[in-house]
């Protein structure tokens, strides 16, 4: 789920809220949310993790939680900040991280402006979620496909993902997955990590945990059965892995989910 945090049209010129240090830059800050900025003016500099980008009209910035940022005026931009717990979505966003040029930037600006308006209304969370995904999808389609050397591997990546999703209940190895993709284990591991920014095993565990969450909401299925259906070799391993990923034991997750569904 995506949660909108903040957004506005931002202009640094004569803005009393913009603090400038003696070196002409704003103070260094740590990014707390996902940030998208679309620039509609020439000039100024944006710095992400020590790398400087000279701002051009049509540039789009994508920053991640933990990034270090500062800027040098003057520039104008449309800013959007949000939180997201969708790991596949944020992995795709990695492909457009930094600053890239987007020729149809005015279309993105219109979408962001519509998000500003929706944020002022009540019960628009699902619509805002869809709008933000639409913005990222448009950027991804143009930017990631243009610059990613690994996009030629999309077919084999999809084969591997399909194989994992169809075999969540089985014990499968890296060799099994790479064979399904038609690559050697070492080559496949590198390609998958560069594409998803995680190892095939981490992705497989993430999907097994997602499946387990859904099954745990059904009280007719025992936790031992859930572990087996999701490919965990033992109940103990399932408990440890589930708690490591969610901070809850499977039993606690089931109890809390049941309480929330009642109330």
137 plus 13 within the same structural domain: yes
**214 plus 119 within the same structural domain:** no
Instruction: Give the predicted TM-score (pTM) of the model.
Output: 0.61
Please check whether residues 17 and 44 belong to one and the same domain. Answer: yes
* Structural domains counted in the chain: 2
* Residue for token pair 């987007």: 102
Under DSSP, the state recorded for 28 is P
Per-residue pLDDT tens over the stretch 217-238: 888 899 999 999 999 999 999 9
115 plus 160 within the same structural domain = no
Note whether 8 and 131 are same-domain residues: yes
The parent domain of residue 51 ranges over: 2-147
Clarify whether residues 128 and 231 are in a common domain.
Answer: no
Q: What is the pLDDT of residue 110?
A: 95
Task: Check whether residue 26 and residue 118 sit in a common domain.
Answer: yes
Dist CA 231 CA 253 (whole Å): 18
Half-sphere exposure of 158 toward its Cβ, with a 13 Å CA cutoff? Answer: 5
In whole angstroms, give the CA distance from residue 136 to residue 34.
11
| Mean pLDDT of each 10-residue bin along the chain, 263 residues long | 92 78 89 96 90 91 95 92 91 87 91 95 93 94 67 80 94 95 92 82 92 91 95 95 93 86 53
- Looking at residue 105, which CATH number applies to its domain? 2.60.120.280
First to last CA, the chain: 21
């Amino acid at each position: 789920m995506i949660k909108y945090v903040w957004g506005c049209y931002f202009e640094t010129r004569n803005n009393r809220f913009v603090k400038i240090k003696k070196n002409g830059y704003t103070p260094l800050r740590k990014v707390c949310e996902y940030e998208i900025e679309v620039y509609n003016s020439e000039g100024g500099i944006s710095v992400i993790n020590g790398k400087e980008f000279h701002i051009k009209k049509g540039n789009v910035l994508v920053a991640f939680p933990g990034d270090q940022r500062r800027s040098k005026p003057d520039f104008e931009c449309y800013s959007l900040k949000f939180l997201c717990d969708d790991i596949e979505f944020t992995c795709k966003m990695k492909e457009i991280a930094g600053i890239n040029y987007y020729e149809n930037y005015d279309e993105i600006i219109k979408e962001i402006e519509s998000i500003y308006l929706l944020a002022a209304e009540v019960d628009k969370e699902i619509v805002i979620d869809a709008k933000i995904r639409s913005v990222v999808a448009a950027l991804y389609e143009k930017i990631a496909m243009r610059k990613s050397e690994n996009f030629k591997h999309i077919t084999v990546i999809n084969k591997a993902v399909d194989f994992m999703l169809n075999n969540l209940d089985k014990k499968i190895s890296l060799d099994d997955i790479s064979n399904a993709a038609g690559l050697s284990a070492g080559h496949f591991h590198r390609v998958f990590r560069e594409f998803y920014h995680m190892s095939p095993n981490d992705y497989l565990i993430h999907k097994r945990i997602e499946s387990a969450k859904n099954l745990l909401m059904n009280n007719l299925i025992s936790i031992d059965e859930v572990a087996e259906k999701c490919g965990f070799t033992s109940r103990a391993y399932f408990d440890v892995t589930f708690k490591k990923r969610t901070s809850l034991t499977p039993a606690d997750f089931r109890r809390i989910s049941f309480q929330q569904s009642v109330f």
